[in-house]
Amino acid sequence: METKRTSDELPEVMTVGLADVLRPIAFARGLPNPCYHDRELAKLEFNRVFADGWTGAGFSKDAAQPGDVYPFEMAGLPFFMARGRDKQLRVFHNVCQHRGRTLVAEPKNVKKAMVCPYHSWTYGLAGDLIGTPHIGGVGKHSCPGFDKKSIALKEVPSAEWFGLVFINLAENPTVFGQYIAPIAERWRAFEGLTLVHTGADSTIKFELACNWKLAVENYCESYHLPWVHPQLNTYSPLDRHRAIIEPAYSGQISDCYGPEFPAGAPAFPNAPELPAFWASGAEYISLFPNVLLGLHRDHYFAVLIQPRGPEETHERFEIFYYSDAVTGPAFEASRANNRRLWQSIFAEDRNAVESMQRGRRSPGFDGGRFSPEMDQPTHIFHQWIARALIDGRSGEINTAAQATAPAR
């Protein structure tokens, strides 16, 4: 299967497998095995999937206050986000323009400027170079012919939405609004709500021994519910779920959301003035490529899927409520209960996705066949990936123009 190639070329043999993915679901196969473990293909995937369009990169809360900086990696490349005095969040390549040292090593508040630990070149929160100690010789902090104003950190287009930070590494980035419009329109009833993160009991982290796509495709389908989540299936059964199939995202609608709380623990306040659907409805959506979302009348969560390598995935799971009241001690047991619930459900999925990863190494599997009724959310994700691998995401394939989802 392996052929010698560079990481910006799709191997010939793969085009056949990807063409099969693009067939109607009854005849389609899933993504070919190398998409889940091949290192060269993972580099191509980074270029065409992650780096050629808007991609989830972090959370607004990572740099909530002016002066906050937060380093992160995407596919091994170093970046950091910084919140300016103007409250604007900016994302930069995390590399000093002097000798190329990484600039920000840990999350902290730098007040007004970032100072490189190597030779103390100093940058403002908007990336502008403002200090170059001894550049003209000892005691001379400027020198003829060196124009500080012509040098700045390399900024990356970024945008915030629903507590998340997205970045776009494409040469000609599309407008963020075009990418996010389909889902933003769907959930416009929740627009503008204050999202309250309560710290450690709003955070879950997972390290998974699988390709990142398995985490995404496992999340968007409910077919596995009775067998992987037998407890959940008792109060939120398979037959109360419907598939969401849209060009830029897929997932499930549940029509029986009714949270239970420990004895004496209060229910979370609901978001105000929601359409009737949300009284018992919930939606679980994989926003392509790498963000999982869960929306309920009383809380919302977002999961950032971060590949660490073709067969390693990190998940950052953050829960948000809609009222500051939830941060208080009165809600401690309710918050802990909610976190425990989501942690146990996602932990149940671990064995499924890690076992599928082992299956992707088998010559006895060639992408598999889909249930035309139950696997549509997975198939639409595979098609989105296949198109991106073939053509890149330039122009944001499959987004706003084609979306038809009703607003909720």
* Contact call for residue 217 and Fe ion (CB under 5 A): no
User: Using CB distances below 5 to 8 A depending on partner kind, what does residue 68 bind out of Fe ion, ligand FES, none?
Assistant: none
The residue whose two tokens read 């499959």 is: 398
* Contact call for residue 101 and ligand FES (CB under 6 A): yes
User: Using CB distances below 5 to 8 A depending on partner kind, what does residue 43 bind out of ligand FES, Fe ion, none?
Assistant: none
Q: From CA 408, how far away is CA 59, in angstroms rounded?
A: 24
Which tokens is 94 given? 């995390």
* Of 75 and 103, CB closest to ligand FES: 103
Q: Cβ of 166: how many Cβ atoms within 10 Å?
A: 22
Is the dihedral angle over the CA atoms 20, 25, 27, 30 positive or is it negative?
positive
* Of 122 and 313, CB closest to ligand FES: 122
Angle (nearest 5°) at CA 67 between 105 and 192: 115
User: Using CB distances below 5 to 8 A depending on partner kind, what does residue 121 bind out of Fe ion, ligand FES, none?
Assistant: ligand FES
DSSP class of residue 406? P
User: Using CB distances below 5 to 8 A depending on partner kind, what does residue 314 bind out of ligand FES, Fe ion, none?
Assistant: none
* Contact call for residue 148 and ligand FES (CB under 6 A): no
User: Using CB distances below 5 to 8 A depending on partner kind, what does residue 167 bind out of ligand FES, Fe ion, none?
Assistant: none
* Of 319 and 389, CB closest to Fe ion: 319
What's the number of CA atoms in the CB half-sphere (13 Å) around residue 167? 23
Q: What's the distance, CA 171 to chain centroid?
A: 21
Q: Is 15 left (phi over 0), alpha (psi -120 to 50) or beta?
A: alpha
> Interface mask (CB under 5 A) for Fe ion, residues 336-365, using x and -?
-------------x----------------
Instruction: Report, in Å, the least distance between residue 317 CB and Fe ion.
Output: 13
CA Rg value for the chain: 23
Q: What's the distance, CA 118 to chain centroid?
A: 32
Q: What values do phi and psi take at 319, rounded to 5?
A: -105, 140
CB 329 within 8 A of CB 312: no
Residues between 103 and 122 that touch ligand FES (CB under 6 A): 116, 118-121
Binding residue count for Fe ion, defined by CB under 5 A: 1
* Contact call for residue 221 and Fe ion (CB under 5 A): no
Stretch binding ligand FES (CB under 6 A), from 93-101, 138-146, 203-211, 243-251: 93-101
Which tokens is 380 given? 């639409």
Q: 379: closest CA among 281, 293, 286?
A: 286
The residue whose two tokens read 């000093």 is: 96
Interface pick for ligand FES out of 5, 37, 98, 408 (rule CB under 6 A): 98
Residues between 268 and 287 that touch ligand FES (CB under 6 A): none
What's the number of CA atoms in the CB half-sphere (13 Å) around residue 319? 26
Q: 169: closest CA among 249, 48, 18, 52?
A: 52
Is the dihedral angle over the CA atoms 367, 368, 369, 371 positive or is it negative?
negative
* Of 104 and 220, CB closest to Fe ion: 220
Instruction: Report, in Å, the least distance between residue 122 CB and ligand FES.
Output: 9
* Contact call for residue 146 and ligand FES (CB under 6 A): no
Secondary structure element (H or E) that encloses residue 258, with its range: none
Q: What values do phi and psi take at 376, rounded to 5?
A: -60, -40
User: Using CB distances below 5 to 8 A depending on partner kind, what does residue 98 bind out of Fe ion, ligand FES, none?
Assistant: ligand FES
* Contact call for residue 190 and ligand FES (CB under 6 A): no
* Contact call for residue 396 and Fe ion (CB under 5 A): no
Q: Cβ of 128: how many Cβ atoms within 10 Å?
A: 14
Instruction: Report, in Å, the least distance between residue 157 CB and ligand FES.
Output: 24
* Contact call for residue 95 and ligand FES (CB under 6 A): no
User: Using CB distances below 5 to 8 A depending on partner kind, what does residue 240 bind out of Fe ion, ligand FES, none?
Assistant: none
* Of 118 and 146, CB closest to ligand FES: 118
Q: Give all strands of the β-sheet with 113-115 in edge-to-edge order.
A: 113-115, 122-124, 129-131
* Contact call for residue 315 and Fe ion (CB under 5 A): no
* Of 14 and 116, CB closest to ligand FES: 116
User: Using CB distances below 5 to 8 A depending on partner kind, what does residue 101 bind out of ligand FES, Fe ion, none?
Assistant: ligand FES
**Residues engaged in binding ligand FES (CB under 6 A):** 96, 98-99, 101, 116, 118-121
**Residues engaged in binding Fe ion (CB under 5 A):** 349
